Amino acid sequence: MPLNSENLNLARALDLSTTNRVLVDSISASNPIDTYRLTVSRSSDLKLSLQGLKANADIQVIQDANGNGRIDDREVLTSSALKGVGLDSINVSLAAGTYFVQAYAGDKGATTGYSLNYSATALAACRRTPFSETVKIPMHLNSCQELSKRLT
């Protein structure tokens, strides 16, 4: 995990208006952390992958729960910190809200370009009976009945 010195208020916005977006950037000894902000208007599945690495780099998803612009204890929701230059990926379900994604040097002083692939798929709530638990289904499914067919 990177140092908590990165100011989340300076994060660049990620555009979630279309699916399967790619952002190309780099990290270095002088810029070891890149921070991006994304807002989901409804519960969504977020998919991230960091690839094209020449040195070790990792990714994490953060929610600034107290709004102080810093990463505090328990605000990192999930991360992928694989050693080496292999594919780091995250698949996480998020409630509506604002989140931050960080790409950061996995090794001190690492310099590498990267491609951050990202997409968010909104989820719908589906209730089978008034007494059942709510089940999240992807918006591309048309109904609870279609969900049931896919599960059987």
Give, as one character, the DSSP assignment of residue 5.
T
**Is the confidence at residue 129, as pLDDT, over 60?**
no
Average pLDDT over residues 10-32: 89
- Backbone phi, psi, residue 147, to 5°: -60, -45
What count of Cα atoms within 13 Å lies in the side-chain half-sphere of residue 100? Answer: 25
**Is the confidence at residue 147, as pLDDT, over 50?**
no
State whether the Cα torsion 135-138-141-143 is positive or negative.
positive
Question: 133 or 121: which carries more pLDDT confidence?
Answer: 121
> What does the pLDDT read at residue 126?
57
What count of Cα atoms within 13 Å lies in the side-chain half-sphere of residue 126? Answer: 17
> What does the pLDDT read at residue 138?
52
pLDDT tens digits for range 36-77: 999 998 888 999 999 999 999 999 999 999 999 999 989 999
User: Can you name the residues that pair with 76 across neighbouring β-strands?
Assistant: 62
Q: Which tokens go with 52?
A: 């094209």
